[in-house]
Structure formats: C-alpha cells, structure tokens
C-alpha cells in the first residue's frame, strides 16, 4: 500500500489550522461580533413592545416609556451604544390620517405621521417597509436598516 508523501504530522496539522485564525481574525472580531449579534432573532417581548407603539393612545406616559427602554436595553445589552438602533419606524394603528410612527431612541419620543408627511431623513427610507404586512417594524441605524419580521427574524438593508 502506498503511503502519502505529504502526510502531515499532528503538530503540523495543528499549526495549519491555527494559522487560519490569524491576526486578521482578531482585527475583524469586534465588527463581526456586532454583526452576528444584530442578526440574532429578536425576542418575542421586544417585538411585541415595539410593534405596538400606539397601544394606549397617541402618547406614552413616563412609566410606559421606561418599560420600553428597559426592554430595548436588555435586547441590545451586549452591544456598545453606537451600534444600537437610533430609531424605530412602525405602521400606525391609530387609523386615518395616521400612517406610521417613529420612536427616536435618543430623544425618547414617539411621533405619529400622517399620510404624505415626511419622516426625518434616515427614517423616511424605512417607511415603505414598515407598512409591509410581513414586517413588524424597522430598526433604523446610522448607516443601515434592519427589518424585523413578526417572528423576530432580521433582514438587513445596507447603504441607505
């Protein structure tokens, strides 16, 4: 029986596999981890909370807002602040003439928008998707959108 000429020793094999996880790997680790984390299916509680921003009327009281922010912080607890969504856009259930509403995570405010009224710059791009029946809401980031389905699964739209 012929023997392979290039049969590697156990040590060589180990070295070979280790070489594949090089410095490059550690360099991209942070952004990779963030991306993987943001891809994770959102929790049912989070989806429920943020797909119904109009529950209880047009505005939230302090208690409601605090509860929502707690859920939000818990959902993104692994992430640095700059990687978290800057806002959320969802379809509005208040009825005509209201169409969508936004939650500004920095200002911690909810605004309901009527048909034809423009949303603040980055959020306008999420409008159509927020109205799509397959999606619960859209998370708006500084440079991209993440569309959340009713079951919490995530789709990404880059370069917006």
Partner 1 sequence: MANQRVIHKADLRAIEKNLSNIHSGIEHMYHYVMSVQNKVQETETKLDQLSNDFYTFLQEELYAKQLQLAETRLVRVRQKLEKEYGHYDDIRRRATGILQAIDVGIVRDEVVTNTTEEFMLSAPKYWLAPCLVALSAWIHDDKEIAEKALHEAFRRNDQKTALFFALIMRRYDRLQASTLWLESYFYLQDVHAIDREVVVLLDSFTNGVFNPQARQLCLRQVEEWYKTVNSLEPDAHKSWEEPLKQFIAPREVAQEYPYLARYSPTFEACKNALEFAHSHQLLLDFLQTVFGGNVQPLQRVHDAVDEMLAHLVTDFDEEELPLRQDDRLLNLIIDENGNKERAQARFQQERSAWEQKFSFRELMKTLAFFPQSVKTTKATQRFALAFCKEWLVHAYKDFTAHHRQAFPTEVEIEIEGWKGRSRDGTNQKELVASLTEHLKKKYKKQGKIKLGKKHIFAIAGGGILSILGFALTPFHIAFLILGILGLAGPGWYLWVRRQNKKAHRLAAEEKKEEAINALLAIIAEIVDWRREYMKADEKGTQVSEFIDSIRKEQYVQAQFDQARAIHTS
Q: How far is the CB of 33 from partner 1 (least distance, A)?
A: 8
- According to the binding rule CB under 8 A, does residue 2 interact with partner 1? yes
Q: Which neighbouring-strand residues pair with 38?
A: none
What are the angstrom distances between the C-alpha of 88 and each of 19, 49, 69, 70, 147? 42, 11, 12, 15, 10
Q: What pairing do the DSSP bridges indicate for beta strands 109-114 and 154-157?
A: unpaired
Q: How far is the CB of 157 from partner 1 (least distance, A)?
A: 5
- According to the binding rule CB under 8 A, does residue 77 interact with partner 1? no
For partner 1, give the closer residue by CB, 94 or 154.
154
- According to the binding rule CB under 8 A, does residue 8 interact with partner 1? yes
Query: What angle (nearest 5°) sits at the alpha carbon of residue 136, between those of residues 158 and 120?
Result: 55
For residues 118-147, which are near partner 1 according to CB under 8 A?
Answer: 125, 127-129, 131-132, 134-135, 145, 147
For partner 1, give the closer residue by CB, 57 or 116.
116
From candidates 25, 43, 59, 67, binder to partner 1 by CB under 8 A: 25
Burial class of residue 155 (count of CB atoms within 10 Å of its CB; 0-12, 13-18, 19+): middle
- State how far the Cα of 23 lies from the Cα of 38, in Å rounded to an integer: 24
For partner 1, give the closer residue by CB, 112 or 127.
127
39 phi/psi in degrees, rounded to 5 = -80, -20
Q: Six-digit token pair at 57? A: 């009327």
- According to the binding rule CB under 8 A, does residue 31 interact with partner 1? yes
> Which residues lie near partner 1 (CB under 8 A)?
1-8, 12-13, 16-17, 20-21, 24-25, 28-29, 31-32, 35-36, 39, 125, 127-129, 131-132, 134-135, 145, 147, 153-157
């Amino acid at each position: 029986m012929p023997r392979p000429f290039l049969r590697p020793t156990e040590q060589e094999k180990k070295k070979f596999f280790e070489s594949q996880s090089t410095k490059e790997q550690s360099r991209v680790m942070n952004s990779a981890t963030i991306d993987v984390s943001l891809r994770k299916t959102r929790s049912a509680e989070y989806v429920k909370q943020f797909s119904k921003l109009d529950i209880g009327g047009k505005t939230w009281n302090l208690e409601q807002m605090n509860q929502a922010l707690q859920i939000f912080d818990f959902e993104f607890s692994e992430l640095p602040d700059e990687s978290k969504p800057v806002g959320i856009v969802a379809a509005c259930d208040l009825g005509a003439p209201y169409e969508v509403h936004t939650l500004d995570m920095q200002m911690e405010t909810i605004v309901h928008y009527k048909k034809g009224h423009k949303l603040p710059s980055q959020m306008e791009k999420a409008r159509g998707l927020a109205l799509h029946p397959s999606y619960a809401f859209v998370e708006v980031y500084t440079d991209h959108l993440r569309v959340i389905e009713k079951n919490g699964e995530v789709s990404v739209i880059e370069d917006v």
